[in-house]
Amino acid sequence: MKNSLLIIVFLCLSIISNAQDYIKHEVIVMLSQNTSWEDFEGKLNSMEFKSLIFQEFQSREFNSMQNDWFTISKDLSEVLNIGLLRFDKVLDESIILKALFQLSEVQTVQLNYLAEYRGIPNDEFYTRQENMDIISASDAWEFTTGGLSPNGDTIVVFVIDNGIDLNHEDLSENIWVNYGEIPNNGIDDDNNNYVDDYTGWHFEDESDNHPPSLHGGAVSGIIGAKGNNNIGVTGINWDVKILPYTILLRSNLSAINVINAYAYALYMRQRYDDSGGSEGAYIVATNFSAGFANKFPNEFPILCEVYNMLGESGILSVSAVTNDESINVQATGDIPTLCSSPYLITVTETDMTDKRLGGYGIVAVDLAAPGVGSYSTYPISNYDYFSGTSCSTPHVTGSIALLYSLDSRLFGEAIKNEPAESALFIKSMLLNGTDKIDSLRFSTLTSGRLNIGNSMNLLSNYYGGWSESFKFVNVHPNPVNDLLTVVYQTPQIGDFYILLYNSVGQLLLQTQKKVAEVGFKSFELDVSNMEAGVYFLLLKNNEDSLIKKIVVY
* Among 110-119, 231-240, 392-401, 534-543, the least confident range: 110-119
Please tell me the distance from the alpha carbon of residue 279 to that of residue 181, in angstroms, as a whole number: 10
Q: What is the pLDDT of residue 543?
A: 77
- 332-368 confidence digits (pLDDT tens): 999 999 999 999 999 999 999 999 999 999 999 999 9
Q: What is the pLDDT of residue 466?
A: 61
Sheet holding 290-293, edge to edge: 116-117, 290-293, 334-335
Q: What is the pLDDT of residue 169?
A: 92
Give the residue from 282, 495, 313, 526 showing the smallest Cα distance to 421: 313
Give the residue from 346, 363, 260 showing the smallest Cα distance to 302: 260
Q: What is the pLDDT of residue 76?
A: 63
In eight-state DSSP terms, residue 82 is E
- pTM equals 0.77
List 111's β-bridge partners, or say none.
27
pLDDT at 18 over 50: no
Q: What is the pLDDT of residue 99?
A: 83
Q: Where in the chain is the domain with CATH 2.60.40.3080?
A: 467-552
Q: Give the amino acid at 74.
A: K
Q: How far is CA 101 from CA 61, 91, 495, in A?
A: 23, 16, 45
Q: How far is CA 486 from CA 82, 116, 291, 300, 344, in A?
A: 36, 40, 35, 33, 22
Q: What is the pLDDT of residue 280?
A: 96
pLDDT at 17 over 60: no
Say how many CA atoms lie within 13 Å of 387 toward its Cβ. 18
Q: How far is CA 95 from CA 31, 51, 110, in A?
A: 18, 12, 12
Burial of 17 (0-12, 13-18, 19+ CB in 10 A): exposed
Q: What is the pLDDT of residue 447?
A: 94
- 292-342 confidence digits (pLDDT tens): 999 999 999 999 999 999 999 999 999 999 999 999 999 999 999 999 999
pLDDT at 398 over 90: yes
Please tell me the distance from the alpha carbon of residue 490 to that of residue 47, in angstroms, as a whole number: 61
Q: What is the pLDDT of residue 9?
A: 39
Can you say whether the dihedral through the CA atoms of 484, 490, 493, 494 is positive or negative?
Answer: negative
Q: What is the pLDDT of residue 19?
A: 44
Q: What is the pLDDT of residue 487?
A: 79
The domain 116-463 is placed in CATH, from the list 3.40.1830.10, 3.40.50.720, 3.30.365.10, 3.40.50.200, at 3.40.50.200
- 504-536 confidence digits (pLDDT tens): 888 998 988 887 777 777 788 898 889 999 999
Considering only residues 22 and 393, tell me which one the structure prediction assigns the higher pLDDT.
393
The domain 2-113 is placed in CATH, from the list 2.60.40, 2.40.50, 1.20.950, 3.30.70, at 3.30.70
pLDDT at 16 over 60: no
SS3 70: strand
Q: Are 323 and 389 in contact (CB under 8 A)?
A: yes
Q: How many helices (H) and strands (E) does the chain have?
A: 14, 25
**Ordered DSSP codes for 483-533:** EEEEEEEES--EEEEEEEEETT--EEEEEEEEE-S-EEEEEEEE-TTSPSE
Q: Are 69 and 27 in contact (CB under 8 A)?
A: no
Reported confidence tier of residue 43, pLDDT bands at 50, 70, 90: confident
Reported confidence tier of residue 437, pLDDT bands at 50, 70, 90: very high
Q: What is the pLDDT of residue 237?
A: 93
Q: Are 253 and 247 in contact (CB under 8 A)?
A: yes
Peptide bond into 297 cis (omega under 30): no
Note the maximum CA span of the chain. 79
Q: Where in the chain is the domain with CATH 3.30.70?
A: 2-113
Helices (H), 362-404: 389-403
Helix 409-417, helix 452-464: angle, nearest 10: 100
- 371-393 confidence digits (pLDDT tens): 988 999 998 778 898 999 999 99
- Please give the average per-residue pLDDT across 213-230, as a whole number: 92
Q: What is the pLDDT of residue 125?
A: 28
- Please give the average per-residue pLDDT across 23-46, as a whole number: 85
pLDDT at 64 over 80: no
* 148 phi, psi to nearest 5 deg: -120, 145
Reported confidence tier of residue 55, pLDDT bands at 50, 70, 90: low
Please tell me the distance from the alpha carbon of residue 236 to that of residue 313, in angstroms, as a whole number: 24
SS3 361: coil
Q: What is the pLDDT of residue 68?
A: 61
May I ask the CATH architecture of the domain 467-552?
A: Sandwich (2.60)
- Please give the average per-residue pLDDT across 188-205, as a whole number: 93
- 445-460 confidence digits (pLDDT tens): 999 999 999 899 889 8
Maximum mean pLDDT: which of 34-38, 83-87, 143-147: 143-147
Q: Give the amino acid at 114.
A: L
Q: What is the pLDDT of residue 58?
A: 53
**For the chain, percent of residues with pLDDT exceeding 70:** 90
pLDDT at 228 over 60: yes
pLDDT at 277 over 80: yes
* Among 77-81, 254-258, 325-329, 403-407, the least confident range: 77-81
Beta pairing class for 344-350 and 367-370: parallel
Q: Give the amino acid at 246.
A: T
Sheet holding 519-526, edge to edge: 471-476, 483-490, 519-526
Please tell me the distance from the alpha carbon of residue 271 to that of residue 269, in angstroms, as a whole number: 5
Q: Where in the chain is the domain with CATH 3.40.50.200?
A: 116-463
Please tell me the distance from the alpha carbon of residue 491 to that of residue 158, in angstroms, as a whole number: 37
